[in-house]
């Protein structure tokens, strides 16, 4: 599948690093570095604009290395880029660590996954089919 992209950054386009990689690294596109204090969140621009085909979405997900090593993650995980959105892709990062985290232009800050999705119609009903779980909520599965 081909997706039209406008790259206004000076960084390479996201790419899969292996044949089976689902995610492609998004990079910060900054005029100057940004410091992200403990508990702080900021929108980080990428310089990328996408034309995603109908029936697909872009998912912005955290990078596991940033999360594990620095406590940095995507605040609205996964962030959704709808097929009809044409603005700049931005990443809302949050710092869950106790240290200031510095972001430089070109740093890999998140992953982009392109995923197919279904469009649904609601079927209004007064009852739902019973299941083994039924209305068992949070923490209800796996109990004997």
Kindly state the average pLDDT of the residues 28-46: 98
> Phi/psi at 143 (nearest 5 deg)?
-90, 145
pLDDT by residue (tens digit) across 1-26? Answer: 999 999 999 999 999 999 999 999 99
141 assigned to some structural domain? no
Domain range for 92: 4-116
State what percent of residues in the chain have pLDDT above 70: 97
User: What is the enclosing helix (H) or strand (E) of 64?
Assistant: helix 64-70
103 assigned to some structural domain? yes
Whether the predicted pLDDT of 40 surpasses 80: yes
Kindly state the average pLDDT of the residues 67-91: 97
25 assigned to some structural domain? yes
Q: How many domains does the chain have?
A: 1
**Residue 79: CATH number of its domain:** 2.70.40.10
Angle at 95 between CA 12 and CA 35, to 5 degrees: 65
47 assigned to some structural domain? yes
Q: Is the pTM of this model over 0.75?
A: yes
């Amino acid at each position: 599948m081909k997706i039209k992209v406008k790259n206004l950054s000076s960084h390479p386009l996201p790419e899969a690093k292996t044949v089976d990689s689902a995610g492609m690294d998004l990079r910060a596109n900054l005029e100057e570095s940004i410091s992200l204090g403990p508990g702080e969140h900021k929108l980080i621009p990428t310089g990328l604009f996408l034309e995603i085909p109908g029936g697909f979405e872009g998912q912005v997900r955290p990078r596991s290395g940033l999360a594990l090593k620095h406590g940095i993650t995507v605040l609205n995980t996964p962030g959704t880029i709808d097929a009809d959105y044409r603005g700049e892709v931005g990443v809302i990062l949050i710092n869950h660590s106790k240290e200031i985290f510095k972001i430089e232009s070109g740093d890999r800050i998140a992953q982009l996954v392109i995923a197919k999705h279904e469009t649904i119609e609601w079927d209004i009903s007064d009852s739902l089919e019973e299941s083994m779980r039924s209305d068992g909520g949070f923490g209800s599965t796996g109990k004997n």
